[in-house]
Chain A
Amino acid sequence: MRLQNNKNLGQNKKISFFFDGKKYYGYEGDTLASALLSNGVYLVGRSFKYHRPRGIISAGCEEPNGIVQLELNEFTEPNRRATEVILYDGLIAKSQNRWPSVKYDVGAINDLLAPFFPAGFYYKTFMWPPKFWKTYEHFIRHAAGLGYSPKKEDPHKYEHYHYHCDTLIVGSGVSGLYAAQIAAAKNQKVLLVEQENQTGGSILSSNNHDNKISDKSQTQWKNKILDELNKLNNVRIITNTTLFAYMHYNYLLAIQDLQPNKGTDKANSIRQIVWKIRAKKVILATGSIERPLTFNNNDRPGIMLANSVSKYLNGYGIKLGKQIVIFTNNDSAYQTVIDCHYQNVNVVAVIDVRNNLEGELPLKVKQLGIKIYTGSIISNTSGRKKLKTVQIKKINQKNIEILNCDLLCISGGWSPTVHLFTQSRGKLKFREEDSCFIPHQAHQDTLSIGSCNGVFDLNNILNETYKSVNNFLNTNDKNNLDGKRYDAELNKTGKQKNAWLIDRENISKSKMFVDFQNDVTAKDIKIALSEGFQSIEHVKRYTTNGMATDQGKTSNVNALGIISELSGQDISNLGTTTFRLPYTPVTFGAMAGRFVKEFFDIERTTPIHSWHTNNNALFEDVGQWKRPWYYPKNNETMDEAVNREVKATRNSLGILDASTLGKIDLKGRDVSEFLNRVYTNAWSKLAIGKCRYGVMLGDDGMVIDDGVTTRLGEHHYVMTTTTGNAASVMSKLEDWLQTEWPELQVYLTSVTEQFGTISLNGPNSRKIVESLFPNQNFSSESFPHMSFKELKIDGVSCRVMRISFTGEICYEINISASYALSLWNKCISLGENYNITPYGTEAMHVLRAEKGYIIVGQETDGSVTPIDLDMNWIVSKKKYDFIGKRALNRSDTVKENRKQLVGILTVDPSIVLEEGSQLVEVETSLPMPMVGHITSSYYSPNLGRSIALGLVKSGTKKKGAKLIVPTINKSIEVEITSPVFIDPKNERLFA
C-alpha cells in the first residue's frame, strides 16, 4: 500500500511493468523491489540449493534473495538485484531458479531432502561408478546456476572514462555530503560517487520528525547542501555509479549506469561507463549494512531487515505489513517502530534479546504502548510463501508464545562497509562491543568517515566528519567554514548484545540461514567445524558461505560470529576472508569497453594495402599486420593461385609488398662494433653500399631474429628484422645500448612505417629497375648481389638493395611510405610485358623453402641454435664475444645429436606433408619415439613435387636416411636431404 504524502515519489508518473508475466504498476523513481512490494509481491525467487520460497529482505546492494532475470532476448540480464533495478515503463522481469513457477517449484523437493544435503555432501558421494560422474554432473549443473546467460549479442555499447581529482568521496550520505562541502570549500576538485539513483544514503530512510540536523529534517539539510554543491564548478556528483575496486596508488574503478530507467529502447547506445579514477585523496563514506539475525526459518518471505522497512516506508512511501513484529539485539530497530508509528502501521510487538533496555529509542517505543519482550528470541516462524506467525520464547525457558504477523523486521546490528578500505590494503580491527570490523590502519591516502568507520551516532558523525576531513585534507587555505558546523540531538544508545546463535541447542535440527542465497545454515557451519575445517577460509569454501552473488554482504560477519560461538574463539582471533573486488558485480561488456570487434586490436596495414584489397587478395594475420596471403584469380583454388604466383616469380617476375619487415635505422660512431656484439658474424669490414645477412641470438644461444643490414654511409646503417619481431628486437637493442654498453655511440630509430618496401623478384626483375632508373647500370658487375644504391625516381629518393629471399635476382626498393603505392602501380604497369605477378606470403614461403631459406619462428622455436640450422658459416669463431656465444658452448648445446635442419622429401612426390607432422625411425606401439618434425612443407610447382624442411636429431649427418611420418590413417615414407632444393650453386641468385 502506498502513502499519499511520499516525499520521493509523490508527484511521479505511474508506470507499468511485468513480473513473471503479470502486469503491475509502480512509479518513476521506484526500484523494482519497491514496486513489487508496493503491489504486495513478497515471493520473488527460489533459493539456490533447497529452492525455498524467498522474498526481498533489503533495499540495497546487499540483497541476497530478490534477484531476477531482467528483460528478454538480446536485452536479457541474469541475476539482477530487484533492489537495484530502477523501474521504467514496460520493464519485464522474471523470477529465477524455479520450474515451472515461483509459486509451484518442483525443485522444492530439495527442501524436504535437505537432511541429506548438508555442507559438502557432494564431496562424500557421487563417486561410484567412476564413469558416472559425468552423468551426476549433468544433473548437478542443470540444478545449479541462477539465471540464464543471454543467447543473443549485446545490443549496447560501453565506454571507459579516465578521471583525475583531488578528493574522491565515495557515498553521499550525511558524512559524504558533508565531506564534499568541506572539500569544496577548500578548493579541492571533488568527485562524489553515489551507487543509488539519488544521493542521501541513510537520509533516504529517515523520517521528517526525528534525528534533525541543526534543526532541519535530514531531507531539508541534504537539499540545502546539494543546492550549494551544484552551484560549484569544482564538485562533480555522479549517481547510479558504484565504486567497485580500490587498487594501488589511489586508482579506483567505478561503474556508472547511464540509462538505468530507459530500458530497452536504446539499442546501440552506451549503457554503462567504467570510470578509472586517480585521486590524490580518497574519503570513504560508504555507510554500513544491517545484519540479519540467525534463527530457525528466518528466511520466509515477509522477514526483512528493519532499516530497509524504514526505507521503503519513508523513502518510497510503502506500508509493508499490517501486523508488524520487530526482532532485534540493538536500539536501531526501534527507529523502525517509531517510523511505523508515524504512518499508523500497527506494530504488534518488539522482541529484544537484551534484558535491560537503556537507550532512549526503546524508552520512546515503550511510551507508545508497544509491547516489548525483553530477554526473548524468536525460535521459529510459519508461513511457507508468506510469513504468518512467529514463535517467541524467553531465553533459556521452554514456554513459547505464538504471534500472528505478516511482517517481521529483524536487526542483528550493523557491519561497516569496509570493503573498499580493505581492498586498498587497509587493516581492520574488531570492536567487541558492537561486533564491528572497523578501519584501523589505512595503507594509502584514505580516510573513512561515518558509519563505515564505525561511527553510528548522528551527532558524532557530524563532529567526526568536520574534524577528520579538515585534518585529512590539511590544506593551508583559510577558507571560511563558518556556518558549516552542524549538530544533532544526542541520543543515548543502549548496548548491543551479540546474538550470533540465539537458539544454540537446536542448531542441528533447524534451518537457521546465514547465507540466504547459497542456503548455508548455522548447521552447515557446525558440520564444517566438526570435520576439521577450522580456518575461516576453509569454512567459507566448504560451506560456500559468502560466495553467492551478494558476496556475503549480509552473511560474512554472522558466519564469523557463529564460528566464534561454536569454537569458543574470539572473532579477533579468527580473521576475515578477503574482501574481494568487485564490490558489486560488474558487466563484462563494460570492462571491455569499446575494445571489442573492430577495436579489439589494432590492424596494421601497409601503404599498398588498398591495391591488395582491390586485387582480390586474401590476407594473413602476422602479428598485428594484415599481409596479402595470395591473390586468387577468377575461380582459382588456393593451391592454383599459389602455384601460379610461385612459377611466375621463378620464371619471369614476381612482386611482393615487403613493407611489414621491421626496419631500424642505426647511426653513430660505433654501429659496426654494436653489430659485432648483437649478431653472430663479423661486421667490421662491411663496406659502404654493401648488405650483409645476420642472425641474432639471445644470450641463451637460441635464434631470435634474422635479417639483412645495409651500410648506407660511414656511420649509418639500416637493419631489417622479421615482421613479427620488429618491436621486440628494437627493444632488446635499446636495452643493450642503454644498460650494458652506454659507452657505444649508436642511435636507433624505428623506421618500419616510414618506408614502403617493394620487392621485385625473378629473372626479369632487372628489366623493371632498368626502366625505373634509366640512367643506372644494374649489371651484376656494377650492382652485385648484396649491395645497395641510393637512387631517385622523379626526384624521390629510393633505397634500392639487391638482396633476395627467393634465390632469384631481386631488387628491393624502399621508398617513403607516401609514394609506395604509386611506385607499386608503376612497377605493375612496367611489368605487364613480363607477366608481373603479385605474390603473397604463401608463395613467398614456397619460394624461400625451395631455396632452403629459414623463417625465424617456423624453423625455429626458441630452442634452436644457428649450429642446429646448419649455419656454422655465420657464427664467427674469431670474435671474443657476441650475444649468445657463451651459451653455444654449454654441455647441451654442443651435443651432436641435437635436432638439426634438413630437407625432407616424400618418397611419393605427390604427397604434401602436414606442417607439424612428427618423424620417427620405426613405427612402434605408443608412445612412439620421435626424432624430429616438419617445420615447413609445400608443393613446389617448379620441382613438380612436394618439398619440406624439418628439424631432425643428428639430421645433418643423416642425409639419405629414410624416416616415417605416421599420420592418422597412413605412414608416409620420407628421405632426409639437403634443405636446398633449387640452385644449390647460386647461379640464379648471382646472375
Chain B
Amino acid sequence: MIEIKNLTKVYKTKKGEVKGVDNVSLTVKEGEIFGIVGYSGAGKSSLLRCINLLERPTSGSITVDGTDLTSLKGEQLRSSRLKIGMIFQHFYLISQKTVYENISFSLKAANYPKDQVKQRVEELLKMVGLSDKRDVYPSQLSGGQKQRVGIARALANNPKVLLCDEATSALDPTTTKSILNLLKKINKELNITIVLITHEMDVVKEICSRMAIMQDGKVIEDGSVYDIFANPQAALTKEFIESVVTLEIPEVILNGCEGPIVKVTFRGKVAGEGVISDTLQQFNLKGNFLHGSIEYIQELPLGIFIMELKGQKQEIEKALQYIENRAAQVEVLRNGL
C-alpha cells in the first residue's frame, strides 16, 4: 500500500545540512497497522510527513496505492491527498468552526455533493461516537473528543491510508486506550491501512502488527511487532521494549543466587506448555523463578521467565539445550557454573 524507497530528507540549518531522514526504505502492506517508534528528533515525524508530502523529500520516492506521489504537484497532489487521512498530536481543528463544520470542511475539499454532506457528517460522527457534539466548538471538547473529531475529519473522504502523528501522546492513559480501540475498529471495519508514529511502546504493542525503530534518521530495525518483542537486536530496541516489559531483578536477590541465571523466552503457543516443569523433572534440577511475565502481542502469548537453576553442572547444560529445542530462546544472564 505504501512503498518508501531510499527516502532522504535534508534540512538546511544555520549550522549546515542535517539529515532528518536518512535513506529509509519501508513497505507498509494493505490493511496493516504499522508503527514507527523513536525518540523525538529521530526523524519519525519527518518520515510520516513525507508520506503525504507535507514535506517534500530531498530524494527517494513514495508510492501510495500505486501512485508515485513524489512525481505529483499542485492539483494532482491535492486530489491524491484526499485518499490519505492524517491526525495529529495537537488535533489542529479549526477553532472557529463547529465540529460539524470542521468535518464538512474535508468534504468540501473533495467537492462532495452538497445535498449529501449532512448525512455523511452524521454518519462519521456516529462512527466516532460524537453525535451529540455536532454543533459544539472545539474549545468545549476534551482532548479525546477533539481527537475523535480529528479522526472523523480524516476519514471523511474514505481514505485508503490514515497517518497518525503522535495521535495519543497528548492524551491520558484511559483516553489513549479508547482512541487506540477506535483506530483498531477503523482498521478492521473499513480496512484502512494505518501508519502511526509514537514514542510510546505501549501503543505499538497494543495495536500494531509491524513496526520500525528509528534513530538519527535511519530505520535501525523493522519487522513484526511480535518478533521484535521476542528477539530485539539493536540496543535502542531493547531499551524501548524494557519500557513496557520490565524484568529487573534487585541486586540483593541476584547476589543471593548460587546457580546460573537464565532468561527463557517462549514464543506463541509454547508459552502455555509445561516446558519448564518437564525440564526440571527430566534433569533432576531445582528451579527458582526470579521474574516472569507473559505478554500478549497480537493475541499471541510471549512468555519471558528469568530463573535460577540448581543441580549438577552437566545436567544444567543438557537442560538448557533441551529448553532451546522445545522453546524459543535461552539466554544465560549470569553463569554461576
Are A and B a genuine interacting pair, yes or no?
A: no
